[in-house]
């Protein structure tokens, strides 16, 4: 603490997985290093907030609901004061009526396609939710996309959309994949999100249904 980090510039691609780096990078910024991406923003970042921001900015997003986590630390009193303001039981059918069936259950933060489930009805939803343990989850509308792209960001505004197959997790070379109008909208939406959220190095995925690009269901 209080000593230089030894770096002038750090490109961060791991602190979202390792808490040690999250703490070290904030210290490095305090001591004069330039970190890509800003670790102070990353600490406050989550998918649910990003979807909310995107919606307010006019970027298309799937219908999304924030869910309380299935389990809690031992020192949380489940029967009295700690959770008295949470409604119970959860109206699973009502939530599915809102987002549609099938739906995607996934963590409200994090990435790497971890703990992501496609559910078709309340039984499948409850079964998947019961296995999510301490993770705070979101329930989201499933986009029946006919096109899918991953946008690579460099310096917030330089955007390269690339055709991506989310099922096989591989990139495809198809230069005429997007129309000029659709490509321009995707680049514009990606730039809008990066500028507001402060990301200089980022990937943003868009699921495209009937010509409308939505922030990725996955």
Task: Specify the CATH number for the domain of residue 95.
Answer: 3.30.1490.20
CA angle, 185 then 191 then 195, to 5°: 150
Mean pLDDT of 177-199: 94
Q: Is the pLDDT of residue 217 over 60?
A: no
Domain annotation covers residue 195: yes
Average pLDDT of the residues of the chain? 91
The rounded distance, in Å, linking the Cα atoms of 62 and 91 is 20
Q: Which pLDDT band holds residue 112 (cuts at 50, 70, 90)?
A: low
Q: Is the pLDDT of residue 179 over 60?
A: yes
State whether 136 and 148 are in the same domain. Answer: no
Domain annotation covers residue 58: no
pLDDT at 110: 67
Domain annotation covers residue 94: yes
Distances in whole angstroms, Cα of residue 38 to Cα of each of 12, 23, 144: 9, 12, 34
Q: Which pLDDT band holds residue 73 (cuts at 50, 70, 90)?
A: confident
Mean pLDDT of 189-207: 92
Domain annotation covers residue 1: no
Q: Among 117, 141, 165, where does a domain finish?
A: 141
| CATH at residue 210 | 3.30.470.20
Q: What percent of the chain has pLDDT over 70?
A: 96
Query: How many domains, in total, are found in the chain?
Result: 3
When mean pLDDT is compared across 19-28, 37-46, 119-128, the lowest value belongs to: 37-46
State whether 149 and 209 are in the same domain. Answer: yes
Distances in whole angstroms, Cα of residue 1 to Cα of each of 4, 8, 26, 55: 9, 17, 11, 40
**153-156-161-165 Cα dihedral, nearest 10 degrees:** 50
Range of the domain at 17: 9-44
State whether 171 and 198 are in the same domain. Answer: yes
Mean pLDDT of 92-114: 90
Mean pLDDT of 3-20: 92
Q: Which of 160, 171, 167, 173 is nearest to 203 (CA)?
A: 160
């Amino acid at each position: 603490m209080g000593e230089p980090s030894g770096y002038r510039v750090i490109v961060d691609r791991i602190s979202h997985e390792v808490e040690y780096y999250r703490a070290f990078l904030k210290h490095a910024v305090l001591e004069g290093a330039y970190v890509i991406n800003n670790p102070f923003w990353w600490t406050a970042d989550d998918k649910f907030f990003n979807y909310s921001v995107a919606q307010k900015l006019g970027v298309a997003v799937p219908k999304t609901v924030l869910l309380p986590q299935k389990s809690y630390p031992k020192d949380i009193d489940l029967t009295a004061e700690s959770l008295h303001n949470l409604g119970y039981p959860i109206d699973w059918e009502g939530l599915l009526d809102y987002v549609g069936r099938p739906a995607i259950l996934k963590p409200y933060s994090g990435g790497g396609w971890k703990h992501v489930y496609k559910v078709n009805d309340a039984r499948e939803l409850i079964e998947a939710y019961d296995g999510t343990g301490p993770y705070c989850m979101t329930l989201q509308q499933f986009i029946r996309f006919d096109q899918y792209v991953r946008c690579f960001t460099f310096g917030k505004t330089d955007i390269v959309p690339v055709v991506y197959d989310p099922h096989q997790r591989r990139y495809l070379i198809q230069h005429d994949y997007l129309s000029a109008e659709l490509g321009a909208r995707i680049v514009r939406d990606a730039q809008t999100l990066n500028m507001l959220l402060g990301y200089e190095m980022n990937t943003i995925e868009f699921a495209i249904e009937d010509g409308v690009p939505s922030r990725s269901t996955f």
